[in-house]
Structure 1
Amino acid sequence: CTCGVGQFYDEHSHVCRLQQECSCYESQSEQYIHPSHSFLVQTPIVSNCSCSNGSLQCTSFDHNQCSSTQIYSLNTTFCPRTCTNYLSHYDCGLYGPGCTCPSGKILLDSTSHQQKCISIEECPCQYNRQIYIENETIIQNDHGCQNCTCKKGGLWSCKKFSCTKTCTIFGHSHYQTFDGLYYKFPGLCQYILVKDINNLFRILTQNIQCGINGQVCSKNIIIEYNGVTIDLIRERPILFNDIELSNYQNQPIQFGRIYIYQLGIYTIIKTDDFIVKWDGQTYVDITIQSNTEMSGLCGNNNDNFDDDFKSSNGASQINVFDMAQSWQTSVQCTSEKNQSLNNDPCGDSLAHAQRRIWAQHKCDLIKIKSSIFNNPFEICIEKMETHLIEKYYQACLYDACQ
């Protein structure tokens, strides 16, 4: 196996990366350094080193470089306490001449070029790479719905409240459950996406082949609610109990507790119990209340994605195929169990090199900031966790390669 054109193998994370994303190995401490991070090293003189393009760039240390809040010491730790690590700080045992904080102070941020020493009580809070000061309040949705207030020492104080959760199906067989579990499943059947515990409603997807390379995507969404059936079919009008609807693009149509309307490119089906948003093609998301117990391909909505792979009889499954197959609505439908769930459509062959280069060029917008052109995703990049950005990037590569 080898990395694609323009990529390098990162021995620390065991994945292929662009050169500017590669980590660096520091032999003295036997640690991997993240890109753009800086630190002090004694070899035997003290140097200020940073990781750039997979290699360490070091300059000799000048004690006059200490910031106004630091002091120079011959016994400075190379692994200082900071606002982000003081609760779980580990002393690496490496010491030498350099800048350090006075007694009772810690570093605000070890990666900043202007290193500042403050008291623990002055530490700000952090969430999604954003900084918040004491008494600022935010809503966190990644571990259930929580109203969180920043307290002294950079600590969050959170209280849960009732809000909404969303399951998303997009592209070629990508699923994200209510609890945030992401997986791929290229099944060619009709499946139950969501079903509430009280049997008040259920929402299904009919999957078909939609490309020349065996891609699978959703052809239509079926909503069954209070004795009503709504069909959302690609390139066709909405069917309400088999009757074609019109004019919902111009103004909302109401059927009892059901509202149907157009919002930009999306068709919206809104009820007291759920909201379905569909782009008319391969994207649909289903939003429910956070306290609603669910089942189906979208998981059970209990704030724990570890148990989202449950079959229709309630048994936990390890294999995605076994879980998904149990939610088929017809025994006559067949799905190939040997379908590759994690295959790379671009592969590593030379024949697919140009396809991979094109896909990477298009998908780089999702995770790389640019000073050359206006990237519409930059606001998202700044606010999202790195692992979420990487998830969407890999999904983009998967679909673009096909």
Structure 2
Amino acid sequence: MNLDPWCRSKSLERILKVFEATSPRYFFHEAINWGESKIKGSCPHECLNGAFCSTAGTCDCQIFQALGTRCQIVPNMGNGRDGICKTWGQYHFETFDGIYYYFPGNCSYIFAKDCGNLEPRYTVWVHNSPKCLGSVYYCYRSISLFFSDQQEIRIYGHEIKKNGISLTLPQTIGQISVEKLADYILVKTTFGFSLAWDGISAIYLKISEEHKGKSCGLCGNYNGIQSDDFIIHQDDYTEDIAMFANSWLVQAPDDTKCVPTPSDFPNPCSSGMPAFEAIFFKCQILLQFPFLSCHEYIDPYLYIASCVNDLCKADDDETYCRAATEYARACSHAGYPIQDWRDDFPACTDKCDDSFVHRDCISCCPPTCTFEKECLGSNLQCLDGCYCPDGLIMENGACISLENCPCSFHGLAYSVGSKIEQECTECVCVGGIWNCTEHDCPVQCSVVGDSHFTTFDGRHYSFIGMCQYVLVKGTGKDKFTITLEKAHCEQNLGLVCLQSITLILEDDLNKQVTVSRGGQILTGPNQGFSLNGIVEIQTLSSLFILLKTTFGLKILFAIDGERIYIQLTSTWKRRTLGLCGTFNGNIRDDFLSPSGMIEGTPQLHANAWRVSSTCFAPVHVPMVDPCNINQQNIGYAAHCDVIHQELFAPCHFYVSPGLYYQLCRHDACKCGSACLCNALAHYAYLCGQRGVTIDFRAYVSFCGLVCQKGMLYHHCSSFCRRSCMALSAPERCTDECAEGCNCPEGKYYEETLHFCVPM
């Protein structure tokens, strides 16, 4: 098939002059002659997209500048189409590379799929209505989404189900986020996939450059070449639209047996030429003001063709409005919205609720009361629909001013003027921001398991990797660096463990302390470096070691290597970098890299802070749900429900449980009872910091500690002054404590006997 668009070389101005100079009656007199010759059977197949059978027995495609033996495709030659694949009105499709085609299939089809990987990162099915009569915009349609290691996400209208269970929005599932914006359902991922579903019939899919040449399905292969989009399932090329589309037919479990569409499917405008003439001139409005402003970016001809195809099936105001809407949407998606076009379409007038206005360009990443979302490069530029007027922000479905934004604290919302006391700080909610009194308030960064991090400013993220990373880099006076080493676990090489943490003072390797998994403590090679007076090391309990400095730094290290807590006083504000973030109260810049750039994903952030560049630095690591892989551990994950239950209820006001339930479930499925108990212990530790003691170990049988050497379990205790040696050489103790095993009251640990004895 020769796809050289010879007729597209004319400028739009010249085309308009041709239309102006040509008498409509004369033009359609010729068209009717073509139609009559076709009716006599001189063309082997019925012509499509408004084309007519010429006296030569071939389809004349000039009317919409279409191509192919049946004029079955209309290329989009605009320079702003930007790799967006779309389908609308049940039967209209445009590939990533800009080929429009009409296909009246009534089955389920692979709309787009990642064919560049053995395990597809994404697959999109579109389920067409088995019977679609009249206007294509009233036909039932739905979509199915499949992502790596995820169960089917099915979207019907505005209802979303995962594995048959309804989801509330917004929702984050691994690397996938699902939310509602105006009348759209938006599905975005961290790997360059952004899909918008209008709840009726339209799908708009944009994928990033990294997916070029790897896509397949009804959307084509996205390689920038229009002439090879119709690759059928067996990697052969065809000009036959039906053969191409039928090769991507899928039989969904709840579908009735579907019959493939025949290759000679009829033209929706095959009957009633006088009606066609009127329809054609109605759709020609897309060549006029105000649509002219977008012609350079989005070619109007394929939308005129789709408009004609629609009105031939149902010539009513609503269908006419929807047909014009698709061109306006294409312009908005490319970033060139058309202003005030609805004035000429009564059926398209504003139907928004009183507090909303209709907007043709709503940002796909609108500002919120909390903070602006990360706008991924694969986002559509903007969407249309009912939204807040300028100057107002959407919050829980209502439009409010920035001054009335609530504040968030541990997952709970607080209205303007609310006050909270947090340790040494009193904060007042002012326009979505906590206005806090400045005291010497410590902050904390935590590492839980091998992959879960919370920065000083409270940003939660996870990443996968094995390397030595800069956890915290303190700058200026008393500068220090804390590094973290992650490697294969000795007991299970299939898992990653935190092996050690190292504190380096003044960038001097002779002044370093390393605490390893198991509790081993190593100091720098220069024995002249004295810990006394600079770093104090204490074994708080059978579970924790504490490193405490004179310059406002504390490190609480779990001896099993499963948890690390870094605490800093406010003197370090705006003086930290690394995986723990920037400690400035702004979570937006916590992914600041050594080069001064803010990285877009947790994985890139972690890669930027590798100590050695020789470590493997994965860019796109699929966040696999361990519960889908380790079915044997689902029983352990069920015990995470305790976080939402009565035992932890006193803590919910201070620390919202949702995030910690997800962390618990993830880790319990990954590595069973040990990881379950570590996740519960982390949540209990945070509760304890707010003055709420949770004895979960007595409640969850897997998590009970067996204390030896005559010791007992304590929620908060310290070995300080609890040994026989300390009686003869008194220790300087602080109020630091941690959970674990320790000698009971009145007894002291005797090092030679390895047992607790009376004084």
Q: TM-score, normalised by structure 2?
A: 0.32
- Which structure shows the higher strand fraction? 1
> For residues 260 and 320 of structure 1, do their structure 2 counterparts lie closer, same or farther at Cα, with a shift above 3 Å needed?
same
Q: Who is 1:392 aligned against?
A: 660
Amino acid at match of 2:498: S
Q: How does 1:196-211 map to 2 (within 5 A)?
A: 196-198=474-476, 200-210=479-489
Q: Who is 2:624 aligned against?
A: 343
1:127 deviation in Å? 7.4
Q: How does 1:3-402 map to 2 (within 5 A)?
A: 8-14=165-171, 139-140=421-422, 146-148=425-427, 158-198=436-476, 200-210=479-489, 212=492, 214-226=494-506, 227=508, 228-241=511-524, 255-264=532-541, 265-273=543-551, 274-280=553-559, 281-292=561-572, 293-340=575-622, 342-347=623-628, 352-353=630-631, 355-356=633-634, 358-366=635-643, 368-370=644-646, 375=647, 377-385=648-656, 389-402=657-670
Q: How big is each residue's C-alpha offset from its partner over 1:237-280, in whole Å with a ceiling of 9 and x where there is no partner? A: 21122599xxxxxxxx9612211101122100000230000011
> For residues 353 and 13 of structure 1, do their structure 2 counterparts lie closer, same or farther at Cα, with a shift above 3 Å needed?
farther
Contact 1:194-1:203 at 8 Å conserved across structures:
yes
CA distance in 1, matches of 2:395, 2:475: 45
CA distance in 2, matches of 1:91, 1:183: 27
Unmatched tracts of structure 1, length 5 or more: 17-87, 93-125, 151-155, 245-252
Amino acid at match of 2:466: L
CA distance in 1, matches of 2:621, 2:410: 36
CA distance in 1, matches of 2:503, 2:472: 10
Contact 2:419-2:426 at 8 Å conserved across structures:
yes
1:391 deviation in Å? 1.1
Q: How big is each residue's C-alpha offset from its partner over 1:189-231, in whole Å with a ceiling of 9 and x where there is no partner? A: 0000000122710000010123758432311001112441101
Contact 1:186-1:215 at 8 Å conserved across structures:
no
Secondary structure at 1:383 match in 2: coil
Q: How big is each residue's C-alpha offset from its partner over 1:12-31, in whole Å with a ceiling of 9 and x where there is no partner? A: 44479xxxxxxxxxxxxxxx
Q: How big is each residue's C-alpha offset from its partner over 1:108-159, in whole Å with a ceiling of 9 and x where there is no partner? A: xxxxxxxxxxxxxxxxxx97799x9xxx985337xxx732479xxxxx9842
CA distance in 2, matches of 1:242, 1:90: 58
CA distance in 2, matches of 1:301, 1:362: 34
1:383 deviation in Å? 2.6
CA distance in 1, matches of 2:607, 2:596: 13
Query: C-alpha root-mean-square deviation of aligned residues, in Å?
Result: 4.0
> For residues 13 and 209 of structure 1, do their structure 2 counterparts lie closer, same or farther at Cα, with a shift above 3 Å needed?
same
1:172 deviation in Å? 2.7
Secondary structure at 1:193 match in 2: strand
CA distance in 1, matches of 2:546, 2:534: 14
> For residues 364 and 162 of structure 1, do their structure 2 counterparts lie closer, same or farther at Cα, with a shift above 3 Å needed?
same
1:290 deviation in Å? 2.6
Secondary structure at 1:287 match in 2: strand
Amino acid at match of 1:282: E
Secondary structure at 1:299 match in 2: coil
Q: How big is each residue's C-alpha offset from its partner over 1:169-190, in whole Å with a ceiling of 9 and x where there is no partner? A: 1113111000001111111000
Identity among equivalent positions (%) equals 28
Q: Who is 1:95 aligned against?
A: none
Contact 1:258-1:270 at 8 Å conserved across structures:
yes
Contact 1:147-1:161 at 8 Å conserved across structures:
no
Secondary structure at 1:361 match in 2: helix
Secondary structure at 1:378 match in 2: helix
> For residues 295 and 261 of structure 1, do their structure 2 counterparts lie closer, same or farther at Cα, with a shift above 3 Å needed?
same
Q: Who is 2:247 aligned against?
A: none
CA distance in 2, matches of 1:170, 1:140: 23
Contact 2:472-2:576 at 8 Å conserved across structures:
yes
Unmatched tracts of structure 2, length 5 or more: 1-150, 154-160, 174-393, 399-407, 671-759
Secondary structure at 2:421 match in 1: strand
> For residues 217 and 137 of structure 1, do their structure 2 counterparts lie closer, same or farther at Cα, with a shift above 3 Å needed?
same
1:287 deviation in Å? 0.7
> For residues 383 and 11 of structure 1, do their structure 2 counterparts lie closer, same or farther at Cα, with a shift above 3 Å needed?
closer
1:89 deviation in Å? 11
Contact 2:445-2:566 at 8 Å conserved across structures:
yes
Q: How big is each residue's C-alpha offset from its partner over 1:76-129, in whole Å with a ceiling of 9 and x where there is no partner? A: xxxxxxxxxxxx99999xxxxxxxxxxxxxxxxxxxxxxxxxxxxxxxxx9779
Q: How big is each residue's C-alpha offset from its partner over 1:21-67, in whole Å with a ceiling of 9 and x where there is no partner? A: xxxxxxxxxxxxxxxxxxxxxxxxxxxxxxxxxxxxxxxxxxxxxxx
How many residue pairs get aligned? The number is 269
CA distance in 2, matches of 1:317, 1:158: 28
Contact 2:410-2:654 at 8 Å conserved across structures:
yes
Amino acid at match of 1:257: I
Secondary structure at 1:393 match in 2: helix
Secondary structure at 2:626 match in 1: coil
Amino acid at match of 2:523: F
> For residues 243 and 283 of structure 1, do their structure 2 counterparts lie closer, same or farther at Cα, with a shift above 3 Å needed?
farther
CA distance in 2, matches of 1:89, 1:296: 33
Amino acid at match of 2:460: Y
Contact 1:192-1:204 at 8 Å conserved across structures:
yes
> For residues 320 and 127 of structure 1, do their structure 2 counterparts lie closer, same or farther at Cα, with a shift above 3 Å needed?
closer
Amino acid at match of 1:289: T
Higher relative contact order (CA 8 A, sep 6+): 1
CA distance in 2, matches of 1:176, 1:225: 23
Contact 1:176-1:183 at 8 Å conserved across structures:
yes
Contact 1:129-1:383 at 8 Å conserved across structures:
no
CA distance in 2, matches of 1:395, 1:217: 16
Secondary structure at 1:160 match in 2: coil
Contact 1:195-1:296 at 8 Å conserved across structures:
yes
